[in-house]
Chains A and B, each alone.
Chain A
Amino acid sequence: MWAYWQSVPAHWRELPARYRLEGGRCKDCGHKTLPEEGVCPVCGSRNIERVALPRRGRVINYSVIWNAPRGYEYYTPYVVALIELEDGTRVFSQLTDVHPEEVKEGMEVEMVIRKTRVSGESGLIAYSYKFRPVLG
């Protein structure tokens, strides 16, 4: 992979979301986001607290990526999906351990941590949540 480096501080700032699925909850209207936003996208409140989101959900919609941004090419073809978690929060995530033709709307999925982006031979290995079909 050629020389590009992802921003290390940007990745590091998002670790609570990427490792532990911690998002933001608006204390005024209850809306939740992942990652945590400074301002509630629904009511505009800045009264946001950090909460751990449920690690299971279902696929609302999805798309198959064949031409990936730099750093993601190794994983093509991969699936990105809009997922509704058990508490109704919607998150955008890659799916893993699944072939594109196996993905269905409504498919039950659970969170795992996987490599998402690797900066060449010498740069950062970025890990983040992905979702896979539930075990069993």
Chain B
Amino acid sequence: MRASRKVGIVGWGVYVPKWRIKSEELARGWGRDWNRYAAGIMVEEKSVPGIDEDTFTIAYEASINALKRARIDASKLRAVYVGTESKPYAVKTTATMLIDALGAGGEGRLTTGADYEFACKAGTEAIQSILGLIGSGMIDYGLAVGADTAQGAPGDALEYTASAGGAAYILGPADKSVAVIEASLSHVTDTPDFWRRQHERYPAHTRAFTGEPAYFKHIMTAAKELMALMGTTPEDYDYAIFHQPNGKFPLRVGTRLGFTPDKIKPGLITPYIGNTYSGSALVGLAAVLDQAKPGQKILVVSFGSGAGSDAFHIEVKEGIGEVQELAPKTMDYVSRKEYVDYTTYARYRRMIRMLHDFSAY
């Protein structure tokens, strides 16, 4: 898909909570030997949201960082979409809080706002929508956020990866951008590899079925179709970012498509912070933009269970160097960390009922 008016990234920002838990500690909690799983998951530690953090607070700080790089006033934002599968409220849009906290849409708050849900690709779906609004000339600037405090049931394999964090992207006209989205493409089918039913706290997944027919099929289809549209090959790209449910899948899907690991690793952040779900590919893209140089080409392909992929062909423009230092970088947040044990993790994630939950207290 190509907009009639070219659209690009004006600013980007990331947030990752400071708390971490080591995979070894998670395994210990369930009497398991992490060494048996390490090679299959390739995530050594994951971020844990503080007890006072959630998708809104993560989205807020990522958005503030994006605004610093965009060097525009929040009043110019006319679309604010938050992609997440861990909404603070089942019904009350996270975007409403974000719009008011940022002052989007000016004093009159004249902006559209919504939450998007498409498992791990809700954030890139938000980008697709804003691409259309700016590309058609309806608005000039919009904010798309992918953020999650991801759920993984205690004791489940997902517990090793489900983490917290997010990334925010301010999109605008290409001539105001530091990276232009030359084209995008989406591929969606009914593939039930992972879901969470209404009122359930944790998702269910179909183990090996989440691989071939879901993750690999959708990412490869979207990537190949986009490269066909653009007339490009893997050699044309300097960086490739794929959704990162673990440390292994992105390297495997990239290699299959023909990308060398050195093009994938700069945007591969999951091994250090876990899978931030809606933030996953977008945090990876932010890590690449933090270091990208004018003229470089980037391929981004997200994946959301259920299932689908969004693919983007991005070209970095002059001026990116001026904004890279204007806000904390992805690796600043990745390296800011303090480890917690399983008990603290369970308390921060509200996985256990606490003293104050009991009416007799």
Contacts and interface: CB of A to CB of B under 8 A. Distances in A.
Interface of A: 1-2, 15, 19-20, 73-75, 96-97, 112-116, 125, 127, 130, 135-136
Nearest to B17: A97
A74 B60 CA distance: 22
A19 B101 contact: yes
A75 B53 CA distance: 11
Contact of A2 (B54, B61, B359): B359
A1 B360 CA distance: 10
Interface in B47-64: 50-54, 56-57, 60-61
Interface stretch (B180-188, B273-281, B349-357): B349-357
B332 interface: yes
Given A127-B57, A135-B332, A96 B50 contact: yes
Interface residues of B, number: 26
A125 B88 contact: yes
B100 A15 contact: yes
B103 interface: yes
Top 3 A-B residue pairs of the complex, sorted by shortest distance between their CB atoms? A114-B52, A19-B101, A73-B356
Contacts of B103: 20
Mostly helix, strand, loop or mixed at chain A's interface? mixed
Contacts of B336: 135-136
A96 B52 CA distance: 8
Contact of A114 (B53, B97, B332): B53
Contact of A115 (B57, B100, B328, B354): B57
Nearest to A135: B328
Contacts of B50: 96-97, 114
A75 B355 contact: no
A86 B336 CA distance: 25
Contact of B18 (A1, A73, A97, A125): A97
A125 B52 CA distance: 10
B359 A127 contact: no
Contact of A127 (B18, B51, B56): B56
Given A74-B356, A75-B52, A115-B51, 19 more contacts: A1-B356, A1-B357, A2-B359, A15-B100, A73-B355, A96-B50, A96-B52, A114-B52, A115-B52, A115-B53, A125-B89, A127-B56, A127-B57, A127-B97, A127-B101, A135-B328, A135-B332, A136-B332, A136-B336
Contacts of B101: 19-20, 113, 127
Interface in B328-361: 328, 332, 336, 350, 354-357, 359, 361
Nearest to B347: A74
Contacts of A115: 51-54, 57
16 contacts: A1-B356, A2-B359, A2-B361, A19-B97, A20-B101, A20-B103, A74-B350, A74-B354, A96-B52, A113-B57, A113-B60, A115-B51, A115-B53, A127-B97, A127-B101, A136-B336
